[in-house]
Amino acid sequence: MSKLVYLVPLFPLAGFLINGLLRKKLSKSVISIIGCGTVLASFVVSLLIFLDARQEGFETVVVNLFGFISAGSLKIPFAFQVDQLSVLFLLIITGVGFLIHVYSTSYMHDEENEHFARYFSYLNLFVFSMLILVLGANYVIMFIGWEGVGLCSYLLIGFWFKNIDYGNAAKKAFIMNRIGDLGFLIAVFWMINKFGSVGFAEVFTKAPSVPVGILTGITLLLFVGATGKSAQIPLYTWLPDAMAGPTPVSALIHAATMVTAGIYMIARSNIMYTLSPITETVVAITGLATALLAATIALKQNDIKKVLAYSTVSQLGYMFLGLGVGAYTGAVFHVMTHAFFKALLFLGAGSVIHALHEQDIRKMGGLKKFMPITHITFLLACFAIAGIPPFSGFFSKDEILAAAYEKNPIYFIVGVITALMTAFYMFRLYATTFLGKFRGTEEQEHHVHESPSAITIPLIILAILAVVAGFVGIPEVFAKDSHWLQHFLSPIFAGSEKIHQTPGADKSTDLTLMGISVVLALIGVVYAWTKFSKNPELGEPQGFGKILANKWYVDELYDAIIVRPLNAFAKFLNDVVEKSVIDWIVNGVGKTVQYSSRQIRLLQSGQVGGYVLLMVIGIVILFLVEIFIKK
């Protein structure tokens, strides 16, 4: 079955081509069937491969499709690698991706036929790129997917490109990603230089024999790529702006594709990161700082999608913290549970936006009785992200926090504070949106209704997953050998675990840590619930809240220290260098040629004697050269 893995990305590619090329001919129902069907087919193939891979003694399969680059001794095949990690990501991408596709058929139904097809072809291309990213058996193939998702995010964020702000948001996402991609690219070149190969198998076997300094450099550059793609400090600002795209796209970017790319890449290269402790510390601290910063910003946002966007940035920070402290399984686990509950949150938010045509939570409220299914699924997702047991987020978050505690208790403390804030802002969002009194216009109240089944069914499926997904990774404390995911992924992380080998905290410490995080999360939930269900904050924030509402002025800071100087520099180049230097050189060349040819033309006198004289002078010069200079 694993040999057929090339089918998985092939289906979405076919869907992209059909929908993209025939967008003016197909009807909406055909487009929907092609768009969803191709992803469903990929999901089925992935599921079959997964059933293969979960059997005992499954060996990593590398499927060589064709030679991609061959230059001297460097051979880069176009190869796919099937192992436990890539299979798990295949399932997440195609599974959640499929639900989002189904959801989109209803959400985007008001679009014109042509744009509807364009939307679905982009969506399929997005899934295709992400599949290439996780399937590639070397860093170059991964880079193809890496660039592909960057392109697709640009296309989809700027889907409504007639709005100039949306176009700018798309450009911002693309440029931020490009900055990160540069780091990734340099790392790949460095690897070619040091390892003579970019294949995962070769690089990871040779990694221990390479000096730590070089490994640190390579891993840090790869991490720069990851900060771009996975929205970490300092390149995170594109993700909240990516809300410009249609809501299902946000769900796709935040849950199934794109932002998990950086986590996947680091989890894939875990052995290199384990071998360079400096990078591990950098990753952990960056993740932690991002988690905290984004959580503080999310406290004061009033746009339903912005809150979710910052919560994604914050949760991604958690994942990086997990990667940095060596809890690779925990990070991948959190990717999985996060994919479910964050997709659910975004799709729920989309359902609300679809019903109200409004994104400001201050103008919502009381939607509980209008949209029961959306309400209950959203509530479950909030519990999951807040880390309330036994919802899925609790297990994955707790695993990361426990590993962080073993590494350094300060990590744990900051992580728990972030968890408290997470619980608080999620339930602020929930309470303001769904509880209390309806604060919209009367017309909206008249129109508000539960969304159609194409929207609610994905919500229900995702809600079930968000609730139960945690049970694949029950910690040791509760039941021995019940952490199925750890067992499943152990071949991938075996090398790193051998090096880390922390003794593991004893049972009582583990339980205490869990207790602390759960109690704090519950405090956050209850406080937010009581505070915002009756009287939500409707006024403009004051003082410190204003700083948070303005996102710590990071965008303004970037604008002042990077964008504006760059613009000024470009203006200088345009006004001064272009006009007086480059133009001068170009025109000067022309004038010189004209002038000198006019002068040289005078030699052409037509006098035979003159010609002969020149000839003789030439011969004499040649003789002189021959005699005196050339010895």
Show the 3-state SS of 558-586.
HHHHHHHHHHHHHHHHHHHHHHHHHHHHH
Q: Peptide bond before 234: cis, by omega within 30 degrees of 0?
A: yes
Q: Does 604 bind another protein (CB under 8 A)?
A: yes
> Smaller CB distance to another protein: residue 29 or 599?
599
**Shortest reach from residue 630's CB to another protein, in Å:** 21
Buried/exposed code over 342-368 (b: 16+ C-beta within 10 A; e: otherwise)? bbbbbbbbbbbbbbbebbebbbbbbbb
Closest CA to 239 of 449, 524, 554: 554
608 binds another protein (CB under 8 A): yes
- Residue closer to another protein, measured from CB, 535 or 604: 604
> In the complex, what is the shortest distance from the CB of residue 605 to another protein, in angstroms, rounded to a whole number?
6
Q: Is 622 in the site for another protein (CB under 8 A)?
A: no
| Shortest separation between residue 620's beta carbon and another protein, angstroms | 10
142: its two tokens: 């991964």
Pick the binder of another protein from 494, 616, 621, 625 (CB under 8 A): 616
Task: Tell whether residue 561 is a contact of another protein (CB under 8 A).
Answer: no
Q: Which is nearer to another protein, 543 or 606 (CB)?
A: 606
Task: Name the pairing type of β-strands 61-71 and 74-82.
Answer: antiparallel
Nearer to another protein, 51 or 616 (CB): 616
Determine the number of helices (DSSP H) and then strands (DSSP E) in the chain: 27, 2
Nearer to another protein, 164 or 602 (CB): 602
Burial 130-163 (b: 16+ CB within 10 A, else e): bbbbbbbbbbbbbbebbbbbbebbbbbbbbeeee
Binding flag, residue 597, another protein (CB under 8 A): no
Q: How far is the CB of 609 from another protein (least distance, A)?
A: 6
* Site stretch for another protein (CB under 8 A), options 254-262, 302-310, 400-408, 598-606: 598-606
Q: Which stretch binds another protein (CB under 8 A): 81-89, 156-164, 442-450, 604-612?
A: 604-612
In the complex, minimum distance from the CB of residue 616 to another protein, in angstroms, rounded to a whole number: 6
Least distance (Å) from another protein to the CB of residue 611?
8
- Say if residues 242 and 169 touch (Cβ distance below 8 Å): yes
Residue 588 C-beta: closest distance to another protein, Å: 30
| Shortest spacing between CB 571 and another protein, in angstroms | 52
- Give the nearest distance from C-beta 622 to another protein in angstroms: 14
- Shortest Cβ 583–another protein spacing (Å): 36
Q: Does 560 bind another protein (CB under 8 A)?
A: no
Q: Which stretch binds another protein (CB under 8 A): 105-113, 316-324, 390-398, 603-611?
A: 603-611
Q: Is 621 in the site for another protein (CB under 8 A)?
A: no
Stretch that binds another protein, among 13-21, 259-267, 612-620, 623-631 (CB under 8 A): 612-620
Q: In this complex, which beta carbon is closest to another protein, that of residue 543 or of residue 609?
A: 609
Please give the Cα distance from 341 to 391 (Å, whole number).
10
Q: Which amino acid is residue 122, in one-letter code?
A: Y
Of 302, 293, 519, give the one whose Cα is nearest residue 429. Answer: 302
Count Cβ neighbours within 10 Å for each residue of 225-245 and write b for 16 or more, e otherwise.
Answer: bbbbbbbbbebbbbbbbbbbb
What's the Rg (C-alpha) of the chain? Answer: 29
Choose between 616 and 624: whose C-beta lies nearer to another protein. 616
Residue 360: strand, helix, or coil: strand
Length of the chain: 631
H or E element, residue 80: strand 74-82
442 and 324 Cβ atoms separated by less than 8 Å:
no
Tell whether residue 590 is a contact of another protein (CB under 8 A): no
Residue whose CB is less far from another protein, 189 or 611? 611
When asked if residue 163 is in the footprint of another protein (CB under 8 A), the reply is no
Write out the two tokens for 454. Answer: 């194409």
Least CB distance from residue 625 to another protein, whole Å? 19
Please pick, from the candidates 609, 628, 630, 631, the single residue that binds another protein as defined by CB under 8 A.
Answer: 609
| Alpha carbons 350 and 222: distance in angstroms, whole number | 34
Q: Identify which of residues 73 and 599 has a Cβ nearer to another protein in the complex.
A: 599
Minimum CB separation from another protein for residue 621, in Å?
A: 14
**Complex with another protein: residue 6 or 611, whichever CB lies closer:** 611
57 contributes a contact to another protein by CB under 8 A: no
612 binds another protein (CB under 8 A): yes
Q: Rounded CA gap, 17 and 314, in Å?
A: 36
* Position 539 contacts another protein (CB under 8 A): no
Tokens of 181: 């991609």
Contact window for another protein (CB under 8 A) among 122-130, 164-172, 364-372, 605-613: 605-613
Q: Is 274 in contact with 244 (CB distance < 8 Å)?
A: no
Residue 606 touching another protein (CB under 8 A): yes
- Piece in contact with another protein (CB under 8 A), picked from 9-17, 115-123, 158-166, 607-615: 607-615
DSSP string computed for 18-78? HHHHTTTTS-HHHHHHHHHHHHHHHHHHHHHHHHHHTSTTPPPEEEEEEEEEEETTEEEEE
Q: Where are the alpha helices (DSSP H) in 78-211?
A: 84-107, 113-135, 139-157, 164-195, 200-206
Binding another protein (rule: CB under 8 A), the pick from 201, 562, 563, 613 is 613
Residue among 621, 71, 99, 34 nearest 348 (CA):
99
Residue 452's CB: how many other CB atoms inside 10 A? 14
How near is the Cβ of 615 to another protein at its closest, in Å? 10
d(CA 172, CA 180): 13
Size of the site for another protein (CB under 8 A): 9
Cβ proximity to another protein: between 573 and 622 the closer is: 622
The piece of 38-46, 404-412, 435-443, 611-619 that touches another protein (CB under 8 A) is: 611-619
Binding site for another protein (CB under 8 A): 604-609, 612-613, 616
